[in-house]
Amino acid sequence: MSGDVITLTDENFEKTIKENSLILVDFWATWCFPCKMIAPTVEELSEEYKGRVAFGKLNVDENQKIAMQFGVTSIPTLILFKNGEIADKIIGAVPKEYLDSKIKEHL
C-alpha cells in the first residue's frame, strides 16, 4: 500500500476492497462542493497512514453501480472497509480530526 489515493471504478472496486485489509473510500462527484472541501483531508490522511491504511476515491457519476450497491445517496460519503466489510460510514464534509479518530478506531 502506498500513500497514493486509488482511483476506484465499478470494475476494480471489489478487487481493491479485498486486497486491502483497511481502506477508506471517498464517494464523490466533480460538481460537489463539500467533496472538494474534504479532498485535501483525504490526501493528507493517505500520507499519514501510508503503509497502514489504503485510500480510494470513487466518482459516483461515473460509477453508479457501486454507489447504488452501498446506498450512497448523499456525497461526500466516506466508507471504511475492514477485511472487505463495512466498518464505518461517514456522511458529509467532516473535520480531519473526526476522520482520523474513525480510522484509529479500526486500526
Q: Are 66 and 10 in contact (CB under 8 A)?
A: yes
58 catalytic per annotation: no
**In which element (H, E) is residue 88 found?**
strand 85-91
Sequence-ordered list of residues with C-beta below 8 angstroms from that of 57, at least 6 positions apart, any chain: 5, 6, 7, 8, 25, 26, 28, 39, 42
35 catalytic per annotation: yes
Q: Which of 22, 35, 45, 79 is catalytic?
A: 35
Q: Which of 23, 25, 32, 54 is catalytic?
A: 32
- The cell for 62 is 461515473
Which residues are identified as catalytic?
32, 35
